[in-house]
Amino acid sequence: MQTQTDIQSILSEEHLDCNRDVWCQRLQAVTADQVRRELSNPVGKFSLDRLVTLLSPAAEAFLETMAQQAHALTIQRFGRTIQLYVPLYVSNVCINSCQYCGYNKETRIERTRLTIEQAVSDAAVIAGEGFRHLLLVSGEDTQFVSPDYLCELASKLKEKFSSLSIEIYAMSQDEYAQLFNAGIDGVTLYQETYDRAIYADYHIAGPKADYNSRLDAPDRFASAGMRRIGLGFLLGLTDWQIETLALAEHASYLVKKYWRSQISFSFPRICPATNVQSEWPHLVSDTNMVQMMLALRLCFADAGIVLSTRETPKFRDNLIDLCVTRLSAGSKTNPGGYASEKAAAEQFEVADRRSPEEVARVIQSHGYEAVWKDWDVSFNKWT
């Protein structure tokens, strides 16, 4: 029985942050009969044993059954709806040295920061396309993209957008509370990898090199009141199955502690980027990524499942019918990319370049409603 109360202790106790070989053996040892038995159990509840079974090599032969169960559960919990959102990059300046990212401080790219007015101009283009859910994204540019900057920007955006989220650097609980009071209701923060040694290899300098601070950040923003907790790891740095186990433990811990917030999972696969290595030892196949998404759905009935434009149109379209609940569309991953023709460096290459209307039409053609506006905005505490 789990007696630890913080996520660092839980991952350590389970050997999910280091010395993880035991999990490879457990995954390999799962049999087809065990998968069959697991799939006859009620869906939507998490246990590590259940997830190990569903992520195992043996479960690959049962993807069709898993897909049917995940589809039925998703329809039951979310209806036939897919929420649309879009990222707005406000700065590609960064003080970190993440070895997989084209924005890291060593790369020679043109750096761009949007003034409040420029960001509002980009947002106006986005609002004109119909979006009401906006994700503000930035490198770790603490000098410029400060809490005050974000609060001022939120005050100007909240009339046009029913929900504002951020995907930026890890902050203190007080700073998150300041943002929540200004109208920002969600934070997405990827751990990148839950393996401490590999984390140290890829994060060689800057504040993000502090594994524990990053791991504890969701506690800080959930404690500050954030309604949406976005989690994920970077697919491609190390073994995806063990990372998924750690991710699920993190989610399970947060769901129990911050039951008023909604968890969502994102699945960022490593993409080509300017001036960073192009060979990756643990690239995740389409089949394994689908298995990961289905397994998480079958363990977390109410979790959002998010897919970005890093993925190809064909892959995204196929997942509409399985378990996805949120899609980005028409994304530009360079600051100023919506309102200006001037090309600043992208964080990664977008694979789905269809317009928001095209994506919405595809969603409708699958028998789903494309939702542009959040349904739970009334729960937010706007100032």
Query: Binding residues for ligand SF4, per CB under 6 A?
Result: 94, 96, 98, 101, 103-104, 139-140, 208
Nearer to ligand SF4, 94 or 123 (CB): 94
Rounded Cα distance between 133 and 372, Å, is: 7
Nearer to ligand SF4, 38 or 346 (CB): 346
Look at residue 276 and give its three-state secondary structure. Answer: coil
Nearer to ligand SF4, 104 or 266 (CB): 104
Least distance between ligand SF4 and beta carbon 77 (Å):
31
Q: Please give the DSSP secondary-structure letter assigned to residue 133.
A: E
Nearer to ligand SF4, 98 or 359 (CB): 98
Least distance between ligand SF4 and beta carbon 94 (Å):
3
Least distance between ligand SF4 and beta carbon 3 (Å):
34
Nearer to ligand SF4, 187 or 320 (CB): 187
CB neighbours of residue 153 within 10 Å: 24
Least distance between ligand SF4 and beta carbon 146 (Å):
16
Nearer to ligand SF4, 56 or 193 (CB): 193
Least distance between ligand SF4 and beta carbon 261 (Å):
23
Least distance between ligand SF4 and beta carbon 89 (Å):
10
Q: What is the Cα 213 distance to its own chain's centre?
A: 18
CB neighbours of residue 99 within 10 Å: 13
Alpha helices in 60-193 (DSSP H): 63-78, 116-128, 147-157, 173-181
Q: What is the Cα 89 distance to its own chain's centre?
A: 16
Nearer to ligand SF4, 23 or 202 (CB): 202
Nearer to ligand SF4, 96 or 325 (CB): 96
For residues 325 and 305, is the Cβ–Cβ distance under 8 A? yes
Rounded Cα distance between 125 and 116, Å, is: 15
List, in sequence order, every beta strand (DSSP E) within 148-291. 163-167, 184-188, 228-231, 262-266
Identify the helix (H) or strand (E) that includes residue 84. strand 81-91
Least distance between ligand SF4 and beta carbon 46 (Å):
28
Least distance between ligand SF4 and beta carbon 236 (Å):
13
Half-sphere exposure (Cβ direction) of 347: Cα atoms closer than 13 Å: 29
Rounded Cα distance between 300 and 323, Å, is: 11
Residue partners of 35: CB distance under 8 A and separation at least 6: 53, 54, 56, 58, 59, 61, 62
Rounded Cα distance between 300 and 56, Å, is: 18
For residues 48 and 14, is the Cβ–Cβ distance under 8 A? yes
Rounded Cα distance between 41 and 56, Å, is: 17
Nearer to ligand SF4, 132 or 214 (CB): 214
Rounded Cα distance between 239 and 100, Å, is: 16
Least distance between ligand SF4 and beta carbon 170 (Å):
9
